[in-house]
Structure formats: structure tokens, C-alpha cells
Amino acid sequence: MNVYLAEFFGTLLLVFIGDGVVAGALLKGSKSENSGWLTICFTWGLAVTLAIYAVGNVSGAHLNPAVTLAFVVHGSFDSGLALGYILAQTAGAFLGAVLVWLHYLPHWRGTSNPAAKLGVFCTAPAIRSTWSNLLSEILATAVLVMGLLFIGTNEFTQGLSPIVVGLLIMVIGLGLGGTTGFAINPARDLGPRLAHALLPIHGKGSSDWGYAWIPVLGPLVGGLVGVAVFSWLNA
């Protein structure tokens, strides 16, 4: 498995499970309907853990363009690989979302709320406020990247690091995700949003492209902020 295929498959797995738990919580007729925010955050964390176990020894399991860009700026990743990583991550997220659509195929027609259907695929703010929403994504992603770099400076028992990273995702979701749904990952939001736009989902409504730039730009900026703060603390 080459590094690009690893990033593609790892991000596919991440989104298939992560968007899958959201589908289970939001779509009518699911056995996990209304399972709530705690379940969603917990499962996203475990999805990240599984994806890291799957491909971390091949590509480093960035699974996130904001992480890839941040590591390039930090000097810990080859800039020549960055574009390929980002494209693979976005494509993997797209296909992961398509698999969620197929997995829950009978449930789309039974769900009348277009916003709930969109929420399976991508994020939306609890209160729509452009600059506040952007700031939320910047701050949450800064914590993500700082956390990854902090984790990287410590030694763990072999095989434990993916679990620690999964816990980091859970902490961010529970502590900071209530404002925007914590995209903290441009590929995780953009790929599935594109899938929502293209798939023949019954009664799906708008893909909300007017908001789509926030979960892309916010994490990219936040990743750079995280690197800057980490570098300052370790100067």
C-alpha cells in the first residue's frame, strides 16, 4: 500500500464510521436514532483510532489536510507529498460518505428533515454567525494540531498512541464541538458535502455551499495557529 492509497483508505474508513454514527442518530427508523452527542463524539474518536491503526504505519495517518499542511509548516513532513495527501484524503472522505448513503439507503425516504440529511454528511453551525463559526473551527483545530504535536513529544507503550489521539478527538468534540459540529478537517466536510450534492438522496434539500468555506478555511488556519503556539512553547 503506497502512502496516497493509505490516506485514501484511512480517510474513507474514518468518514464511513464517523458519518455512519451521525446517520444512525439522525435518520428515522434507525435502531440508534436520537442516541445523542456523546455517542457521536465517542464514535468519531474511535473511528480516528481505527483509521490510525489501519494506515498509520504506511502514511502516518494524517487523514486531514489541516494536519498535513500544519506538519509541512512544522517541518516534519515532506511538502512534495502534501498535495497528493490532500487529494487522497478528500477522495476517501467522498467515497466514505457514498458508502454511508448506501448503508442507510432505506432510511433517507423515511426522514423528512433535509437539515438532518445534510447533517449526516457535513457540519453546520448551531447558531449561524460567520466570524464566530470561523473562530470556533480555528480554535478547535489549533487544539487538535497542538495535541498531536504534544503527543508526539511523549513516549507511549507500543500501539497506544492511536488510542490517545482518539481520546483527543473525543475531548475536542465534547468540549468545543457544540458550536459548529467540529469539522476540524477540510476533507471530512468537503468530500461528504460534495457527495450530498451529487447523490440522488430523496428530499435532500440544499448542500449549504454558502457555509462550506468555513469548515475548510477554519481548520487550515487553525492548524497553522496550532503549529505556531507549539513552536513558541518549545522555542
CB 61 within 8 A of CB 37: no
Q: Hey, how many other C-beta atoms are within 10 angstroms of the C-beta on 40?
A: 21
Question: Of 20, 73, 27, 74, nearest to 188 (Cα)?
Answer: 20
Mean pLDDT (whole number) for 87-109: 98
Question: 87 burial class (0-12, 13-18, 19+ CB within 10 angstroms)?
Answer: middle
Mean pLDDT score across all residues of the chain: 96
Mean pLDDT (whole number) for 70-82: 96
Question: 57 burial class (0-12, 13-18, 19+ CB within 10 angstroms)?
Answer: exposed
Name the domain count of the chain.
1
Per residue in 18-36, pLDDT (tens digit) is 999 999 999 999 999 999 9
Phi–psi pair at 84, nearest 5 degrees: -60, -40
CB 114 within 8 A of CB 205: yes
CB 195 within 8 A of CB 205: no
pTM of the model: 0.96
CB 144 within 8 A of CB 48: no
Per residue in 117-156, pLDDT (tens digit) is 999 999 999 999 999 999 999 999 999 999 999 998 776 7
Q: Rounded to an integer, what distance in angstroms lies between the CA atom of residue 214 and that of residue 114?
A: 20
Residue keyed to cell 492548524:
223
Question: Of 211, 214, 192, nearest to 90 (Cα)?
Answer: 192
Domain range for 222? 3-233
Cell (9 digits) for 109: 425516504
Cell (9 digits) for 77: 513532513
CATH of the domain at 118: 1.20.1080.10
pLDDT at 57 exceeding the cut of 90:
yes
Among the ranges given (70-74, 149-153, 167-171), the one the predictor scored with the smallest mean pLDDT: 149-153
Question: Of 127, 104, 110, nearest to 19 (Cα)?
Answer: 104
- Residues 144/170/129/35 CA torsion (nearest 10 deg): 160
